Amino acid sequence: MANLLIGDIHGCYDEFMRLLEKAKFSSSDTLWLTGDLVARGPKSLEVLRFVKYNAKQIRLVLGNHDLHLLSIYANVTPSKKKDNLDDIIHAADFDELMNWLRKQPLVQIDESLKLIMTHAGIPPQWDLETLKKCADDLHVMLSSGSYLLFLDKMYGNFPDEWLPNLQGLDRLRYIANALTRMRFCYENGRLDFYYKKSPEQTPSKLKPWFLLPSKIPNEYSIAFGHWAALKGKGTPENIYALDTGCCWGGKLTCLRFEDKKYFKKKNIEAKN
């Protein structure tokens, strides 16, 4: 009955399967996946099909690469070679997979475990109610027949500041950026989308989102992915950075929430 939390899989299906074996994943366990199931790695199609087939045992959130795939599906943006998504785009079940993917949530909250998961994090200005409302509003839009309206206007870095009176597509774009792309913030909470490396390699005026004062009660643990350069380090005790860059030659990380034990699987093609 364990809760196994796994970082960004990015098409690393073989490592994912071996990690499940290593963590002794069984039919009574729940898998939490931080999103970015697809892109970069070699077997995105296999990952998507596995997650869709086993959905009853999986708590998933969407990542920026999952949204990017949806925007390719919607013909909003072209597929680039480095995305490595051709197998999905040419799959017989492309429509079915995309109509399932777009209906997945942006946040997972478990009140008994006191555990929250999003792909990138939680912007400092948001309390729990705002997080739920914002994630749900974007989820409702993506699940609806009007999802193309959002995908068509999804790209862009503005607005980069949260204001409670943001509306319409600007508000949804902020929500998508905050939940799936955020890494660093300015002291006032404004989001930065330029720096992607570790905090040590970044100007000190920018702070990782998780080091700014938060309105989320301390009793909650927060799990996120997205930021491979952290290598799982540097977060407060109850915040878990789970993307350890498997698709870049790093590792795929699994945290068993009950005893906080880590399981890791190296990228199979990495030399050391």
Binding site for Mn ion (CB under 5 A): 36, 63-64, 226
Q: Which of 25/202 has CB closer to Mn ion?
A: 202
Closer to Mn ion by Cβ: residue 36 or 160: 36
- When the beta carbons of 49 and 196 are compared against Mn ion, the nearer one is 196
Cβ at position 145, least distance to Mn ion in Å? 27
Question: ∠ at Cα 150 (42, 132), nearest 5°?
Answer: 85
Taking the C-alpha atoms of residue 151 and residue 71, their distance in angstroms, rounded to an integer, is: 6
Whole-number minimum distance, CB 11 to Mn ion, in Å?
Answer: 13
DSSP letters spanning the chain: --EEEE---TT-HHHHHHHHHHTT--TT-EEEE-S--SSSSS-HHHHHHHHHHTGGGEEE---HHHHHHHHHHTTSSPPPGGG--HHHHT-TTHHHHHHHHTTS-S-EEETTTTEEE-SS---TT-BHHHHHHHHHHHHHHHHSTTHHHHHHT--S----S--TT--HHHHHHHHHHHHHT--EEETT--B--S--S-GGGS-TTEEEGGGS--BS-TT-EEEE-S-GGGTT-S--TTEEE---BGGGTSEEEEEETTTTEEEEEE-TT---
Q: Which is nearer to Mn ion, 23 or 176 (CB)?
A: 176
Nearest residue to Mn ion by CB is 226
Q: Which two tokens stand for residue 228?
A: 């491979």
- Nearest to Mn ion of 25, 106 (CB atom): 106
**CA distances to 8, 16, 56, 65, 161 from 268, in Å:** 16, 11, 28, 22, 40
Nearest approach in angstroms of CB 184 to Mn ion is 14
CB of 1 vs Mn ion, minimal distance in Å: 29
* Residue placing its CB nearer to Mn ion in the complex, 199 or 245: 245
Of 25 and 208, the one with the shorter C-beta distance to Mn ion is: 208
**Which of 93/156 has CB closer to Mn ion?**
156
